[in-house]
């Protein structure tokens, strides 16, 4: 099978996007050039790799197999590049990380400080939800992932680097605002605005309420913490969010943290990668930086209504 690296690179981009147009834009090629590379690859392989149904393209069975191997080959080439970068030291290199959307508030500060310390480095930051983070870990797509509780059953190296308290928030005019030592049972009559069912915050909330013998009454489901905070401000219910997402709202007086019995829900932030992953010098440096200094980039905020 006479396959070129160029063909594999083009194929991997088309397979990832399932779009010739987006692949062409990413690779800075014309769409006809992309189509020609795919056609030549299919001729070399002797099997169709894509099929078109309507206006959409899909991977064939052979395409799925080729995608697996193309990603593996690309990973080996990246590893070779990283090994060569080791000879140059941490002053150069590229970092590709993903962070949970809840962590974005402090992750951008971390990256900015790291970039100032190592000005020759570059990075790609993906802010996304838990389901995508888990998939990226499964596919070994990222150098490092910053997230809440790591998924069980995966071969991961996960190091906790900071507490991540989840607190109950309400608008300032809520009847419970300003009260102290609020009994946990008072929440039974409240409706909560929550994250989507698969999110780490929702999983932690649901488990916490079950452990304390109370059903969690949910109203609206949101796909971001920003949407939850806005809904709580509008009086659509209470929210349970990471304290690290609340700095601006608490300073502006748009939200308050309720002093509820058993709260905060104590969780941690982790920096995670696959077992056996060969971290580049810049990834190793960033991992050390996170473990040693992350807490200093989070403003101190109260975890109760006092």
Q: What is the CATH number of the domain that holds 30?
A: 1.10.10.10
40: in domain:
yes
Which one of 82, 102, 123 terminates a domain?
82
Query: 83 pLDDT band (50/70/90 cuts)?
Result: low
Query: 89 pLDDT band (50/70/90 cuts)?
Result: low
- Count Cβ atoms below 10 Å from residue 276 Cβ, excluding itself: 8
Q: Are strands 144-147 and 218-222 parallel, antiparallel or unpaired?
A: unpaired
Mean pLDDT of the chain: 88
Q: Which residues pair with 160 in a beta bridge?
A: 270
pLDDT 10s digits, 230-249: 999 999 999 999 888 888 89
305: in domain:
no
In this structure, the answer to whether residues 177 and 229 fall within a common structural domain is: yes
The enclosing domain of 134 has a CATH number of 3.40.190.10
290: in domain:
yes
pLDDT higher than 90, residue 172: yes
Q: Mean pLDDT over residues 40-68, rounded? A: 93
pLDDT higher than 80, residue 10: yes
Domain that holds residue 24: 5-82
In this structure, the answer to whether residues 52 and 185 fall within a common structural domain is: no
What is the percent of the chain where pLDDT is above 70?
93
Q: What length is written for the chain?
A: 306
Q: Mean pLDDT over residues 272-282, rounded? A: 89
User: What is the crossing angle of helices 61-86 and 31-45, to 10°?
Assistant: 110
CA atoms within a 13 Å half-sphere pointing along the CA-CB vector of 61 = 0
pLDDT at 30: 94
Nearest alpha-carbon partner for 158 in 145, 170, 167:
145
Q: Tell me which range, 90-104, 127-141, 287-301, is most confidently predicted by mean pLDDT.
A: 127-141
303: in domain:
no
63: in domain:
yes
In this structure, the answer to whether residues 101 and 231 fall within a common structural domain is: no
In this structure, the answer to whether residues 57 and 205 fall within a common structural domain is: no
pLDDT 10s digits, 291-305: 998 877 775 545 444
pLDDT higher than 90, residue 122: no
Q: Mean pLDDT over residues 131-160, rounded? A: 92
228: in domain:
yes
How many domains is the chain built from? 3
In this structure, the answer to whether residues 70 and 97 fall within a common structural domain is: no
pLDDT higher than 70, residue 306: no
In this structure, the answer to whether residues 174 and 252 fall within a common structural domain is: yes
292: in domain:
yes
In this structure, the answer to whether residues 177 and 215 fall within a common structural domain is: yes
Query: 77 pLDDT band (50/70/90 cuts)?
Result: confident
User: Which range is least confidently modeled, 1-5, 46-50, 107-111, 112-116?
Assistant: 1-5
In this structure, the answer to whether residues 211 and 231 fall within a common structural domain is: yes
pTM here is: 0.63
C-alpha 52: how far from chain center: 31
In this structure, the answer to whether residues 95 and 217 fall within a common structural domain is: no
In this structure, the answer to whether residues 66 and 123 fall within a common structural domain is: no
Higher-confidence position of 154 and 90: 154
In this structure, the answer to whether residues 64 and 120 fall within a common structural domain is: no
In this structure, the answer to whether residues 289 and 145 fall within a common structural domain is: yes
User: What is the crossing angle of helices 61-86 and 281-293, to 10°?
Assistant: 80
Q: Which residue in the block uniquely carries the two structure tokens 């807490």?
A: 295
pLDDT at 304: 47
Which one of 51, 82, 113 terminates a domain?
82
Asked if 231 and 237 count as a contact pair (C-beta separation under 8 A), the reply is yes
3 state DSSP class of 183: coil
Which one of 82, 106, 127 terminates a domain?
82
């Amino acid at each position: 099978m006479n396959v070129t690296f160029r063909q594999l690179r083009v194929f991997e981009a088309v397979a990832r996007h399932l779009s010739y147009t987006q692949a062409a834009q990413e690779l800075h090629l014309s769409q006809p050039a992309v189509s020609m590379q795919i056609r030549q690859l299919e001729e070399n392989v002797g099997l169709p790799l894509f099929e078109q149904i309507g206006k959409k393209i899909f991977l064939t069975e052979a395409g799925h197999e080729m995608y697996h191997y193309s990603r593996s080959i690309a990973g080996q080439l990246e590893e070779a590049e990283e090994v060569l970068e080791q000879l140059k030291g941490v002053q150069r290199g590229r970092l590709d990380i993903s962070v949970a959307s809840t962590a974005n508030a402090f992750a951008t500060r971390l990256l900015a400080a790291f970039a100032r310390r190592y000005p020759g480095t570059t990075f790609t930051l993906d802010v996304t939800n838990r389901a995508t983070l888990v998939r990226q870990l499964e596919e070994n797509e990222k150098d490092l992932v910053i997230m809440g509780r790591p998924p069980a059953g995966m071969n991961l190296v996960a190091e906790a680097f900071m507490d991540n308290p989840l607190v109950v928030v309400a608008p300032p005019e809520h009847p419970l605002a300003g009260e102290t030592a609020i009994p946990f049972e008072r929440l039974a009559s409240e409706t909560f605005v929550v994250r989507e069912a698969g999110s780490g915050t929702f999983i932690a909330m649901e488990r916490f309420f079950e452990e304390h013998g109370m059903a969690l009454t949910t109203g609206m489901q949101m796909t971001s913490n920003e949407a939850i905070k806005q809904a709580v401000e509008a009086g659509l219910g209470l929210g349970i969010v990471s304290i690290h997402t609340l700095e601006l709202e608490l300073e502006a007086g748009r939200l308050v943290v309720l002093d509820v019995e058993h709260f905060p829900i104590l969780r941690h932030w982790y920096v995670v990668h696959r077992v056996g992953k060969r971290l580049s010098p810049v990834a190793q440096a960033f991992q050390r930086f996170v473990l040693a200094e992350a807490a200093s980039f989070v403003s101190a905020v109260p975890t109760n209504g006092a």
